[in-house]
Structure formats: structure tokens, C-alpha cells
């Protein structure tokens, strides 16, 4: 199965998210090598909910015939209100439900060894493939492998291996292994949170 390329996203609607999981929908207007120029879908009618600065880390996601294309990158420039240039560093194809990320607040403990007391923190966004979190203490070095214990809303805990991939405030982590039942549980938590947020938004409107 061929890996996705940036050209596959030309004229597609993608979701750009910042490190806290906040984001909006953009259309990919132009691509050149690893650079994409994107326009906010409501450009000219509404102000984008997120303003970007050069160097901001972003995550992007877009639907595809075979699943969900996800990637990471950095903002090169906000060209004008509603238009942004992004240098994409990595693209991969995953199952859509596993990759979808939402602002979900879950208490956690990160440990380098099972016997460690660990560092406490809280997720700022979560998916079935990874999370971003603010954690006590000095940021971990990129590539550090850890154990994360998530305090689930039902009252129990889930412990999984993870790796620090980027960022300081917040730090971003990918899950290294996760059984199907736990993946489904995390994806369900993300989906329930998303639906609740949409209902609240409709009530306010």
C-alpha cells in the first residue's frame, strides 16, 4: 500500500490543529515539495479560530479512501488572515477513528521505569494513537520511551508504553502499543467528548 504524499491532499479539506488540539478546516490550495499553502474554508466570512506564528508546530488530518491521512509540520508563515503556509514533516495513513484527536483532559502519570513515582500531568488532547500533555518538571528529551498511566473517567487506570516525539509546552507523545479494546475505548472517549462539545455549541447558538 503506497504511502500518502502531500500531492494527494491538493484541493482537499484538511484539519490543522495546534499543540492543544484546537484547530479549524483549511483547503490545500497549492503544494510544492514538502510545503502546503492552505486557506481557511470560511475565509472572507469568518476569522479563523486559531492564529498562527512562524515555527508553530501543527498536526494535520484529512479523510482518504483508505482511512485517514495524518501528519506533522511547522508553520512557515501566516500569509494573510485565513491563509497559512505549512512545511509538512511526515505523512502517514491510519484508521480514521484511531487518529482523530480532540481536546480531552485526562490526569496522567509518566514513568521511565515501573517502580518510579513518576511525573504528574494532564492531557490537552488525546487520540487512540497519541496525546499532548503538560507534565511537571523539565521536558523529556525527544525519543524518550516511557509508561503513561491514564486516569479514565470511569474511575480505573490504563497504563501504556509511549514515546516523546516533540514539543515542550505541551509535550507530544505517541503510543507504542495498544490492544484493540483499549484503542476502541480511547477512540470512544474522544468521540463522546466531541459530541458533547458540539451539543454545547449548538445550545449557545
Long-range CB contacts for residues 29-32, cutoff 8 Å, separation at least 24: 31/6, 31/7
Angle formed at CA 123 by CA 189 and CA 147, multiple of 5 degrees: 95
Q: Alpha-carbon distance 99 to 116, whole Å? A: 30
In the chain, the DSSP E strands lie at: 13-17, 23-32, 35-40, 57-64, 67-80, 83-94, 107-111, 119-126, 130-135, 145-151, 157-166, 171-175
What pLDDT shows up at residue 202?
60
Q: Which three cell numbers mark 24?
A: 479549524
Q: Alpha-carbon distance 162 to 173, whole Å? A: 6
Could you tell me which of 36, 14, 20 has the C-alpha nearest to residue 86?
Answer: 36
* E strand or H helix that includes residue 193: helix 180-204
Q: Which phi and psi (to 5°) does residue 190 adopt?
A: -60, -45
Domains of the chain with bracketed CATH = 6-94 (2.30.110.70), 107-197 (2.40.10.220)
What pLDDT shows up at residue 98?
56
Neighbours of 31 (CB within 10 A): 19
Q: Which phi and psi (to 5°) does residue 127 adopt?
A: -140, 180
Q: Alpha-carbon distance 171 to 121, whole Å? A: 11
The tens-digit pLDDT sequence of the chain (205 residues) is 567 788 888 888 788 877 666 777 888 899 998 999 988 887 666 677 777 888 888 888 776 655 678 788 889 988 777 788 999 988 877 655 555 667 888 999 999 988 888 999 999 888 888 898 999 888 898 889 999 999 998 889 999 999 998 777 788 888 888 888 888 888 888 877 777 766 665 665 5
Neighbours of 61 (CB within 10 A): 20
What pLDDT shows up at residue 43?
66
Q: Alpha-carbon distance 184 to 95, whole Å? A: 11
What pLDDT shows up at residue 122?
94
What pLDDT shows up at residue 85?
92
Amino acid at each position: 500500500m503506497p504511502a500518502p504524499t502531500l500531492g494527494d491532499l491538493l484541493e482537499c479539506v484538511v484539519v490543522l490543529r495546534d499543540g492543544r488540539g484546537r484547530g479549524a478546516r483549511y483547503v490545500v490550495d497549492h503544494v510544492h515539495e514538502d510545503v502546503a499553502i492552505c486557506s481557511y474554508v470560511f475565509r472572507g466570512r469568518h476569522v479563523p479560530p486559531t492564529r498562527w506564528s512562524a515555527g508553530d508546530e501543527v498536526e494535520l488530518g484529512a479523510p482518504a479512501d483508505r482511512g485517514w491521512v495524518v501528519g506533522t509540520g511547522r508553520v512557515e508563515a501566516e500569509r494573510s488572515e485565513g491563509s497559512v503556509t505549512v512545511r509538512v514533516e511526515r505523512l502517514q495513513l491510519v484508521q480514521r477513528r484511531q487518529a482523530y484527536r480532540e481536546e480531552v483532559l485526562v490526569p496522567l502519570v509518566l514513568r521511565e521505569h515501573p517502580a518510579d513515582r513518576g511525573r504528574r500531568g494532564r492531557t490537552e488532547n488525546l487520540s487512540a494513537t497519541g496525546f499532548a500533555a503538560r507534565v511537571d518538571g523539565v521536558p523529556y528529551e525527544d525519543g524518550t520511551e516511557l509508561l503513561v498511566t491514564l486516569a479514565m473517567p470511569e474511575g480505573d487506570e490504563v497504563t501504556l508504553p509511549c514515546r516523546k516525539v516533540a514539543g515542550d509546552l505541551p509535550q507530544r507523545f505517541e503510543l507504542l502499543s495498544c490492544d484493540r479494546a483499549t484503542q476502541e475505548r480511547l477512540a470512544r472517549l474522544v468521540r463522546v467528548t466531541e459530541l458533547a462539545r458540539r451539543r454545547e455549541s449548538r445550545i449557545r447558538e
